[in-house]
């Protein structure tokens, strides 16, 4: 007798129908199973065919609300002369946008138009329309605010954009500025980390704050914020000095290892030096370097807490060099150079029809030729002061710079200066409120999506419409199709249903489209040591610890340590401000969710009790945080976990104006106090480089 799957059991018990989906609430994009009854989402869990299995994080479980949130955008709208919005039809909206785009291109060239996206579904449609057909090189994700330094370090050294982690087989794991247990314990990667700990793997966490992951670590290294690079260089110094590196691997696969070894010794990046910089004692550094070099397999990696500094790129290059010099690359228990899935583009454009821009991309013109994504912190200067060249029109697709970029006030000014601004979103975000045209996008439950997943092996997720779109909202592929028709590119966007383009995208998968649709997720084999056959994707075919691509672009080919000067506190601004997220919210998809607001409905600052006592501040008080640029009032929580002299703020709340009725007015909009600060090579945001003063506020 055929076994009943748990999908079928749930359907039977709940009277539902299961439709495979994808969660796009955070960048993990987990494959999901969406259970639907009477055109309503009643339950969501992980996809049993994906590495995550059926588990999901709390944000994902609560996401069902999105499909019926009464505060979602329902109709296209255009700003009127009094600053309000008028409802218009899709035809009017798309005609207006197309007319403007054609006249702007005629007058100023296609490069003055930018398309910016974050939690996009199927970003390839806008990429093909805007870059291949309309002709602008300025199409960009939000990487500058996120993993830009990590991506560039990996590109420069491995010729690979996205390393993942094989915690499952690792015996020594060192994590820098990342808090997987504080973010999401349901992910396969984090469950593997727990399993590795149970098996006896050693966990070391480098973080100025004792995070939830640090609490479970064997060693927590509370570095002074922004000094991780010095700690990593000192570990490299010790391993070079004691010749504890993997000699055979270094000789065979590292390009410029001798230059790197000579460099760390000549620069005097000793553990003793690093103690003075980082606050971590030299014996601990020495011991950890010895242990890391001696334990196989091992891995070290990091994320936002490390990259949000102007010296984050070199910190990352050193961390990847530590993995490489100890031979811990792409094997079981190492960082993995993820194999891409064989996905095709959704539409076919003959090569001779692909537009060739006349001007360089904004990244290049701004002086960041290697930046993976456009340094969006500098976008306002392109719009307002036409530096390095003018940007006249911009699209914001589920991205909210007027709220979420540091120095966000300048983004508000930027919005006013654009000739055409279009927001495509689910909610009336701060950016949408300042746009000329607002287009409602269908939610992740109401549209199809084909995307590469983030599992370490090749993975493709295929989600399908589970319920009807709310109001007149449309999937982005239908929005791009409508716009393409108005712009005269309709011939390329020909399909009767989403299955037509999805079938084309997945034509090279080893399973049929029907099987992919039924399962919702395909995973290939997780292969190790792929470089053995193919080499690395760099010019030399080896791991470039001496980077030729950085060298050619005029940068130092070897990582150095530079102090992030604005981090250094002074008498007027004696605290270092760092930022983080909370476990229960992520981006605009969660902030109007009543279930999640029930758990946490505002953001807060965290301060060490010693500092609080000296300032007469008690737990739960409201404090004023002032930077050289602006100030904000926010609730404070006292935590021993935060180092004295540091204040951590959780961002992502404080919506005003018209954003969802449940989120509005809750918490503090903190981003105006951060100054504009950009990594000089990657163009990533130096979000954590901010010194502030703190005082008790009388404001309620
Ligand atoms: S919010 Fe949770 S379920 Fe959704 S993509 Fe992120 S980790 Fe996955």
Across the chain, which distance is largest between two alpha carbons, in Å?
76
* Number of helical (H) and strand (E) elements in the chain, helices listed first: 27, 27
- Could you give the angle at the alpha carbon of 203 between the alpha carbons of 143 and 564, nearest 5°? 45
**Residue 366 contacts residue 683 (beta carbons within 8 Å):** yes
pLDDT value at residue 360? 97
What is the DSSP secondary structure assignment for residue 463, as one 8-state letter?
A: E
Which residues, 6 or more positions from 627, have their beta carbon under 8 angstroms from its beta carbon?
573, 577, 673, 674, 675, 690, 691, 692
Region 271-291 average pLDDT: 98
Instruction: Report the C-alpha gap between 395 and 391 in whole angstroms.
Output: 11
Instruction: Report the C-alpha gap between 346 and 492 in whole angstroms.
Output: 10
Nearest protein CA to atom 3 of ligand 1, as residue: 60
Nearest atom in ligand 1 to the alpha carbon of residue 46 is 3
Ligand 1: residue of 34, 43, 56 to mutate (most ligand atoms within 8 A of CB) is 56
183 confidence band (pLDDT: 50, 70, 90): confident
Beta strands at 139-140 and 575-580: parallel, antiparallel or unpaired: unpaired
Task: Give yes or no for residue 183 CB within 6 A of ligand 1.
Answer: no
Beta strands at 172-176 and 437-440: parallel, antiparallel or unpaired: unpaired
Nearest protein CA to atom 6 of ligand 1, as residue: 26
Choose among 316, 353, 345, 323: nearest CA to 450: 345
> Residues in the chain, how many?
700
Ligand 1: residue of 28, 463, 593 to mutate (most ligand atoms within 8 A of CB) is 28
Residue-range domains of the chain with CATH = 148-335+536-552 (3.40.228.10), 565-696 (2.40.40.20)
Nearest atom in ligand 1 to the alpha carbon of residue 59 is 1
Instruction: Report the C-alpha gap between 571 and 574 in whole angstroms.
Output: 5
* pLDDT tens digits along 94-152: 999 999 999 999 999 999 999 999 876 688 999 999 999 999 999 999 888 888 999 99
* pLDDT tens digits along 5-29: 888 888 888 899 999 999 998 888 8
462 confidence band (pLDDT: 50, 70, 90): very high
What is the DSSP secondary structure assignment for residue 128, as one 8-state letter?
A: I
Nearest protein CA to atom 5 of ligand 1, as residue: 29
Q: HSE on the CB side for 188, CA within 13 Å?
A: 22
Which residues, 6 or more positions from 419, have their beta carbon under 8 angstroms from its beta carbon?
100, 104, 392, 393
**Ligand 1 centroid distance, CA of 583 (Å):** 11
**Ligand 1 centroid distance, CA of 336 (Å):** 21
**Ligand 1 centroid distance, CA of 451 (Å):** 15
pLDDT value at residue 664? 85
**Residue 517 contacts residue 464 (beta carbons within 8 Å):** yes
Task: Give yes or no for residue 59 CB within 6 A of ligand 1.
Answer: yes
Q: Is the pLDDT of residue 356 over 90?
A: yes
Instruction: Report the C-alpha gap between 579 and 575 in whole angstroms.
Output: 13
**Ligand 1 centroid distance, CA of 63 (Å):** 9
**Residue 368 contacts residue 682 (beta carbons within 8 Å):** yes
Which residues, 6 or more positions from 181, have their beta carbon under 8 angstroms from its beta carbon?
190, 193, 211, 212, 213, 215, 216
**Enclosing H/E stretch for 589:** none
490 confidence band (pLDDT: 50, 70, 90): very high
Task: Give yes or no for residue 57 CB within 6 A of ligand 1.
Answer: yes
534 confidence band (pLDDT: 50, 70, 90): confident
Phi, psi of 280 (to 5 degrees): -100, 130
Task: Give yes or no for residue 578 CB within 6 A of ligand 1.
Answer: no
pLDDT value at residue 186? 73
**Ligand 1 centroid distance, CA of 28 (Å):** 6
Ligand 1: residue of 20, 29, 31, 57 to mutate (most ligand atoms within 8 A of CB) is 57
Q: What percentage of the chain exceeds 90 in pLDDT?
A: 81
* Residue 525 in tokens: 């084999």
Nearest atom in ligand 1 to the alpha carbon of residue 61 is 3
Which residues, 6 or more positions from 76, have their beta carbon under 8 angstroms from its beta carbon?
87, 88, 89, 90, 92, 93, 437, 438, 439, 440, 472
Nearest atom in ligand 1 to the alpha carbon of residue 58 is 2
Task: Give yes or no for residue 60 CB within 6 A of ligand 1.
Answer: yes
**Ligand 1 centroid distance, CA of 530 (Å):** 29
Question: Where does residue 453 rank: exposed (0-12), middle (13-18), buried (19+ CB within 10 A)?
Answer: buried
Task: Give yes or no for residue 184 CB within 6 A of ligand 1.
Answer: yes
């Amino acid at each position: 007798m055929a076994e009943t799957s748990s999908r079928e059991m749930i359907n039977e018990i709940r009277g539902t129908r299961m439709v495979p989906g994808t969660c796009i609430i955070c960048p993990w994009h987990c494959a999901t199973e969406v259970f639907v009854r009477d055109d309503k989402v009643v339950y969501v869990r992980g996809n049993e065919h994906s590495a995550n299995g059926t588990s999901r994080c709390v944000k994902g479980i609560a996401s069902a609300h999105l499909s019926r949130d009464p505060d979602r955008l329902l109709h296209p709208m255009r700003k009127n002369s009094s600053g309000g919005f008028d409802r218009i039809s899709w035809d009017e909206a798309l005609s207006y946008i197309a007319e403007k785009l054609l006249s702007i291109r005629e007058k100023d060239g296609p490069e003055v138009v930018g398309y910016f996206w974050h939690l996009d579904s199927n970003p390839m449609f806008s990429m093909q329309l805007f870059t291949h057909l309309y002709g602008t090189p300025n199409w960009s994700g939000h990487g500058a605010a996120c993993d830009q330094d990590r991506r560039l370090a990996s590109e420069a050294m491995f010729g690979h954009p996205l390393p993942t982690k094989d915690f499952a087989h690792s015996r020594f794991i060192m994590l820098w500025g990342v808090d997987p247990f504080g973010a999401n314990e349901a992910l396969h990667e984090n469950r593997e980390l727990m399993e590795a700990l149970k098996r006896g793997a050693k966990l070391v966490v480098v973080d100025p704050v004792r995070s939830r992951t640090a609490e479970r670590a064997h060693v927590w290294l509370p570095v002074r914020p922004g000094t991780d690079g010095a700690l990593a260089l000192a570990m490299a110094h010790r391993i070079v000095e004691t010749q504890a590196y993997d000699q055979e691997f270094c000789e065979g696969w590292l390009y410029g290892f001798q230059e790197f070894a000579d460099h760390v010794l000549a620069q005097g990046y000793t553990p003793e030096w690093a103690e003075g910089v980082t606050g971590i004692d030299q014996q601990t550094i020495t011991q950890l370097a010895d242990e890391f070099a001696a334990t196989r397999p091992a891995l070290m990696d990091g994320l936002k807490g490390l990259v949000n500094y102007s010296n984050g790129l070199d910190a990352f290059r050193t961390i990847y060099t530590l993995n490489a010099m100890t031979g811990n690359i792409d094997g079981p228990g190492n960082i993995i150079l993820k194999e891409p899935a064989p996905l095709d583009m959704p539409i076919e454009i003959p090569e001779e029809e692909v537009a060739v821009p006349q001007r360089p991309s904004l990244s290049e013109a701004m002086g960041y030729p290697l930046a993976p994504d456009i340094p969006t912190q500098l976008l306002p200067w392109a719009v307002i002061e036409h530096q390095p060249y003018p940007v006249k029109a911009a699209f914001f697709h589920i991205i909210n710079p007027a709220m979420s970029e540091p120095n966000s006030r300048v983004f508000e000014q930027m919005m006013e200066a654009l000739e055409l601004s279009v927001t495509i979103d689910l909610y009336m975000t701060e950016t949408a409120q300042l746009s000329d045209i607002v287009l409602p996008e269908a939610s992740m439950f109401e549209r199809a999506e084909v995307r590469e997943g983030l599992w370490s092996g090749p993975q493709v997720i295929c989600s399908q419409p589970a319920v009807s779109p709310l109001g007149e909202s449309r999937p982005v592929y239908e929005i791009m199709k409508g716009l393409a028709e108005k712009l005269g590119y309709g011939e390329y966007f020909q399909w009767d249903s989403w299955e037509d383009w999805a079938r084309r995208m997945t034509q090279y998968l080893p399973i049929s489209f029907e099987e992919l649709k039924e399962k919702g997720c395909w995973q290939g084999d997780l292969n190790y040591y792929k470089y053995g056959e193919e080499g690395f994707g760099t010019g030399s075919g080896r791991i470039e610890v001496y980077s030729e691509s950085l060298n050619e672009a005029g940068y130092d080919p070897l990582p150095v340590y530079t102090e992030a000067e604005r981090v250094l506190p002074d008498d007027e601004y004696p605290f270092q401000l760092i930022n983080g997220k909370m476990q229960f919210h992520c981006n605009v998809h969660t902030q109007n969710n009543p279930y999640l607001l029930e758990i946490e409905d505002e953001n807060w600052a965290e301060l060490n009790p010693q500092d609080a006592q000296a300032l007469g501040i008690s737990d739960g008080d409201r404090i004023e945080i002032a930077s050289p640029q602006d100030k904000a009032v926010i609730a404070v929580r006292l935590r021993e976990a935060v180092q004295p002299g540091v204040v951590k703020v959780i961002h992502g709340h404080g919506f005003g104006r018209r954003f969802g009725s449940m989120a509005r007015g809750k918490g503090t909009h903190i981003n105006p106090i951060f100054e504009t600060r950009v990594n000089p090579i990657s163009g990533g945001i130096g979000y954590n480089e901010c010194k502030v003063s703190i005082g008790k506020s009388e404001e309620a």
